[in-house]
């Protein structure tokens, strides 16, 4: 009689245990299987550009390296005046240009084909990544630039005197009046005025923004197809 009682007690406990465990299982199942029948919303359609498509070149912005002038159109040396291409790991493209023996007469000139201009605008600015070193209390901070809209006639040299030293590579900009025409065929020219100014990259832009190094790198990727 006592044994039967014990057996029944165990049976009841075992049965209760089974019910509890089964209940837990159901509960766990109900967590993993939501009871709501709301249909899942479709994922938004994201249009993927074709793999070969290049990132867009921004409108009204061109960059070119100061050291990549057209050698056959440029006069790099004239008497004591000379433009030099120098190495600097902190310069974009690893190189920059600097004149020595400058006489403020524009006796040497570096000529550049301007990349195709995609925007018609009257709001052009000339930007350059520069160092304007201070020498003997005075900043080496001036140069002339010129523009040709057809590669034949130059509009006439314009003088820039920045008015401040720039001790390390920074972007500086000045109003460009006139600016380049829409399309191909514009040429840019840099003329010596003051020794020791250092010019790394030139940027012409009509979008009112200030260039920075990351923008230039993105521009190169866009122009060169993601290289
Ligand atoms: Ca000066
Ligand atoms: Ca450079």
Residue 208 lies in a domain: yes
Residue 52 lies in a domain: no
Considering the domain architecture, whether residues 14 and 107 belong to the same structural domain is answered as no
Answer yes or no: is pLDDT of 112 > 50.
yes
137 alpha carbon, closest ligand: 1
7 C-alpha vs ligand 2 centroid, how far in Å? Answer: 93
Considering the domain architecture, whether residues 91 and 146 belong to the same structural domain is answered as yes
Considering the domain architecture, whether residues 143 and 212 belong to the same structural domain is answered as yes
208 C-alpha vs ligand 2 centroid, how far in Å? Answer: 23
Considering the domain architecture, whether residues 102 and 172 belong to the same structural domain is answered as yes
Model confidence over 180-221: pLDDT tens digits? 999 999 999 999 999 999 999 999 999 999 999 999 999 999
93 C-alpha vs ligand 2 centroid, how far in Å? Answer: 5
Answer yes or no: is pLDDT of 6 > 80.
no
Confidence label for 24 from pLDDT (cuts 50, 70 and 90): very low
Structurally, how many domains does the chain consist of? 2
Closest CA to 54 of 182, 199, 218: 218
29 C-alpha vs ligand 1 centroid, how far in Å? Answer: 80
Confidence label for 51 from pLDDT (cuts 50, 70 and 90): low
Confidence label for 139 from pLDDT (cuts 50, 70 and 90): very high
Confidence label for 3 from pLDDT (cuts 50, 70 and 90): low
Residue 79 lies in a domain: yes
85 C-alpha vs ligand 2 centroid, how far in Å? Answer: 9
Considering the domain architecture, whether residues 26 and 78 belong to the same structural domain is answered as no
Answer yes or no: is pLDDT of 27 > 50.
no
Answer yes or no: is pLDDT of 21 > 50.
no
Considering the domain architecture, whether residues 8 and 109 belong to the same structural domain is answered as no
Residue 35 lies in a domain: no
141 alpha carbon, closest ligand: 1
Considering the domain architecture, whether residues 143 and 99 belong to the same structural domain is answered as yes
User: Residue 159 sits in a domain of what CATH number?
Assistant: 2.60.120.260
Answer yes or no: is pLDDT of 25 > 50.
no
Q: Which domain holds residue 19?
A: 1-30
Considering the domain architecture, whether residues 127 and 183 belong to the same structural domain is answered as yes
């Amino acid at each position: 009689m006592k044994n039967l009682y014990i057996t029944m007690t165990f049976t009841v406990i075992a049965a209760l245990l089974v019910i509890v465990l089964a209940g837990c299982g159901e509960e766990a199942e109900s967590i993993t299987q939501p009871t709501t029948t709301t249909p899942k919303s479709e994922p938004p359609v994201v249009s993927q550009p074709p793999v070969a498509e290049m990132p867009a070149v921004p409108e009204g912005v061109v960059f070119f390296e100061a050291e990549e002038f057209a050698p056959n159109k440029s006069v790099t040396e004239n008497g004591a005046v000379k433009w030099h291409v120098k190495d600097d790991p902190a310069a974009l493209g690893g190189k920059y240009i600097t004149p020595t023996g400058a006489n403020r007469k524009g006796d040497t000139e570096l000529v550049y084909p301007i990349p195709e201009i995609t925007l018609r605008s009257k709001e052009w600015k000339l930007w350059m990544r520069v160092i304007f070193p201070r020498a003997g209390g005075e900043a080496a901070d001036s140069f002339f630039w010129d523009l040709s809209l057809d590669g034949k006639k130059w509009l006439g040299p314009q003088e820039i005197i920045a008015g401040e030293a720039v001790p390390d590579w920074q972007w500086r900009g000045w109003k460009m009046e006139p600016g380049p025409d829409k399309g191909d065929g514009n040429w840019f020219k840099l003329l010596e005025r003051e020794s020791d100014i250092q010019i790394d990259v030139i940027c012409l832009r009509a979008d009112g923004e200030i260039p920075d190094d990351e923008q230039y790198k993105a521009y190169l990727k866009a122009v060169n197809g993601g290289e």
